[in-house]
A and B are shown apart, each in its own frame.
Chain A
């Protein structure tokens, strides 16, 4: 077994562990931190079902972003939707047999790689060209874009220019899932692609990528607007019993 294979096997075990534990920990914190007051941004749905619908609109069509800025929406939405399609498409490296819906994506994936990179470059252009966005961008924001563009570009290279042995790649990842290490082809594009993906998984729990779980926990979006109908108390606001006060007077 080659050194490269061993290094990548270890890298992916470590990255997966950091990703799962780190994001899991953050989700736990989000979920267990109380929200003492009702603060939905109104007009807000008055029922749970309405909140689900609002949340779906936020994560599927980026409703608030659409209201806000059509360019950011266009690039951001294009990037994310292509990313989701690509993530689903990559499931075929982890499943045997590959689920049917993944194979349906075949036609789309001729374009999704380009869509991802185009969306990212659009967002990056705004970061460089629009003075307001340039002002708020830090080094980590540029590095994150570079990393994602790198992942997309190296994927495109493998798909259209320097094909890699995807059967071997699949065997490698299926092997990892079964704790049996299989040889990984040592193509440069594949090496780069996988290294960057592992890096992304590692930085995920300590970076702004936390917006992915964060959006579901945002009280301004996920709270039901019914404070008069149903008394809301959580955390510090649940610590008092006002009826006791009345009799003490």
Chain B
């Protein structure tokens, strides 16, 4: 791993000057042929790949109004240039959203527009060459598809869509990213990203039952593959495996217990994550989503609830009905799917849960809005419910809460730096640098309000924070699950006594 310097946190955030090529060396490991095969792509660069890449690009544009409009409409106004955390953290101009788009737009123009065909120099059109492909691989793996740029663009141009398309084109000509493709392959085969088979999952859940019993004296269940349960819980597999994710899972189980709900996890669909979105692959996206439909049908559940995971919630909220619906076989009283925060919030509103907030009095908490939840989904029935509901759940459980600066939360939230299929050790430099704007905002509330805990609702954010916090001289266990706070504060005895 190359040496690099962690960016300095300043008194005030600044917009850096350009430093060309600072991240030109950053490339994630390339997928091996077997990883490529597991997601249906050629194992290595195919013959005549230039033409095939151009053809694929043309096909994608013709099938997506978003791509068509975004590629044609950018006016180079520059409004997005200082909005990307990767630009702010790396100072590499190709990490400015419009510059990233232009890596692909230049090829689109060359082959599909009048100006690019006849006046390439004038409009910056380029042939599809090996250098261009390498540049794509480098810089389309420096975009976490967080959509922050899309909020600020006057035409809503979303660089995430363009990154997804670029990765899809690369996969189709045999150049894939190891991290994402290997994981999607595991998910197809076993049912979750970790490759945790049913017996291991059952073991883990039984272990959790014992832990909670030891700690609280209450028989909180973690049911697996229970036919006829009301609720199917789909949660990121990180929740089964590591801190601080597990505390969240324990929190969901305690909420279900306190509500007297009948629920189950499925070993067949034991994963909320769907990395297929990151690589822009519709076939894989749909294939993964259909596991959830099948699990819901096989188990005969009435409703589906998702655990804390950012991109998973985007796929669930925005795409699940499209990809795997219609869900007429579920109880029409509930939206399909629901977020665990919606579920807990609703119980709180109806006075069904009891909390002892003082259990969290050692904490001064802030909330990290995850990109995909904030800018690509909703909770509840009001626009912006995705900001309010998790905060209300937190405030029901803690006495000390402070938000970070307004231009770094809600729809303007900064990515943790590890989203979009970049949460891999071979991109550590990028992850640390990309986290800078978020860490800067965190430092402000740490210094001003003594914040010592960040609650998040995304498995990727939680893992990323754990890794990068120490680079910025914070404690790595500052990060936790929203339902970890719920877990600590909730009282498990019946409410009506």
Provide the residues of chain A in CB contact with B337, threshold 8 Å: 228
Nearest residue (CB) in B for A123 is B77
Q: Does B230 contact A (CB under 8 A)?
A: no
Measured in the bound complex, the distance between the Cα atoms of B198 and A226 in whole Å is 35
Q: Does B383 contact A (CB under 8 A)?
A: yes
Of the stretches B220-228, B373-381, B452-460, the one at the interface is B373-381
Q: How far is the CB of B42 from chain A (nearest CB, A)?
A: 21
A58 adjacent to B154 (CB under 8 Å): yes
Provide the residues of chain A in CB contact with B293, threshold 8 Å: 242, 245-246
A136 adjacent to B102 (CB under 8 Å): yes
Provide the residues of chain B in CB contact with A138, threshold 8 Å: 76, 122-124
A139 adjacent to B121 (CB under 8 Å): yes
Q: Known: A46-B381, A138-B122. Is A231-B321 also a contact (CB below 8 A)?
A: yes
Q: Does B74 contact A (CB under 8 A)?
A: yes
Q: Can you list, as one digit per residue, whether each of B335-356 has a CB less than 8 Å from chain A (1) or not (0)? A: 1110000000000000000000
Provide the residues of chain B in CB contact with A94, threshold 8 Å: none
A220 adjacent to B156 (CB under 8 Å): yes
Provide the residues of chain B in CB contact with A221, threshold 8 Å: 155-156
Q: Does B157 contact A (CB under 8 A)?
A: yes
Q: Known: A42-B375, A43-B378. Is A135-B158 also a contact (CB below 8 A)?
A: no
Measured in the bound complex, the distance between the Cα atoms of B77 and A65 in whole Å is 10
A-B contact count (CB 8 A): 219
Contact with A245, one of B61, B74, B82, B290 (Cβ below 8 angstroms): B290
Q: Does A131 contact B (CB under 8 A)?
A: yes
Q: Known: A29-B68, A36-B63, A39-B161. Is A141-B321 also a contact (CB below 8 A)?
A: no
A208 adjacent to B318 (CB under 8 Å): no
A35 adjacent to B64 (CB under 8 Å): yes
Complex interface residues of chain A between 25 and 59 (CB less than 8 A to chain B): 26, 29-30, 33-39, 41-46, 50, 58
A72 adjacent to B374 (CB under 8 Å): no
Q: Does A243 contact B (CB under 8 A)?
A: yes
Tally of contact residues, B, Cβ under 8 A: 78
Q: Known: A65-B79, A143-B122. Is A42-B386 also a contact (CB below 8 A)?
A: yes
A208 adjacent to B78 (CB under 8 Å): no
B152 adjacent to A68 (CB under 8 Å): yes
Q: Does A163 contact B (CB under 8 A)?
A: no
Q: Can you list, as one digit per residue, whether each of A185-228 has a CB less than 8 Å from chain B (1) or not (0)? A: 00000000000000000000011101100110111110001011
Measured in the bound complex, the distance between the Cα atoms of B381 and A206 in whole Å is 42
Q: Known: A64-B151, A67-B152, A218-B157. Is A236-B72 also a contact (CB below 8 A)?
A: no
Provide the residues of chain A in CB contact with B76, threshold 8 Å: 133, 136-138, 141, 208
B156 adjacent to A139 (CB under 8 Å): no
Measured in the bound complex, the distance between the Cα atoms of B151 and A231 in whole Å is 25
Q: Does A235 contact B (CB under 8 A)?
A: yes
Nearest residue (CB) in A for B73 is A214
Q: How far is the CB of B407 from chain A (nearest CB, A)?
A: 9
Q: How far is the CB of B65 from chain A (nearest CB, A)?
A: 4
Complex interface residues of chain A between 118 and 147 (CB less than 8 A to chain B): 123, 126-127, 130-133, 135-141, 143
Provide the residues of chain B in CB contact with A220, threshold 8 Å: 66, 150, 156-158
Measured in the bound complex, the distance between the Cα atoms of B65 and A232 in whole Å is 15
A39 adjacent to B66 (CB under 8 Å): yes
Contact with B326, one of A62, A231, A237 (Cβ below 8 angstroms): A231
Provide the residues of chain A in CB contact with B69, threshold 8 Å: 30, 214, 217-219
A136 adjacent to B81 (CB under 8 Å): yes
Provide the residues of chain A in CB contact with B68, threshold 8 Å: 29-30, 33
Q: Does A160 contact B (CB under 8 A)?
A: no
Among the interface residues A42, A211, A228, A232, which one has the most CB atoms of the partner chain B within 10 A? A42
Q: Does A76 contact B (CB under 8 A)?
A: yes
B383 adjacent to A45 (CB under 8 Å): yes
Measured in the bound complex, the distance between the Cα atoms of B322 and A232 in whole Å is 5
A140 adjacent to B375 (CB under 8 Å): no
Nearest residue (CB) in B for A222 is B156
Q: Which residues of B are interface residues toward A (Cβ below 8 A)?
A: 15, 17-18, 61-66, 68-70, 72-83, 93, 96, 98-99, 102, 113-115, 119, 121-124, 147, 150-158, 161, 282, 286, 290, 293-294, 297, 317-319, 321-326, 335-337, 374-378, 381-384, 386-387, 411
What are 20 A-B contacts with C-beta separation under 8 Å? Answer: A36-B64, A38-B319, A42-B383, A43-B384, A43-B387, A58-B154, A62-B154, A65-B77, A65-B79, A132-B15, A132-B96, A136-B96, A139-B121, A140-B115, A140-B122, A211-B155, A218-B155, A220-B157, A227-B321, A245-B290
Given contacts A41-B376, A132-B81, A136-B102, 5 further A-B contacts (CB under 8 A): A42-B374, A43-B383, A43-B387, A135-B99, A231-B322
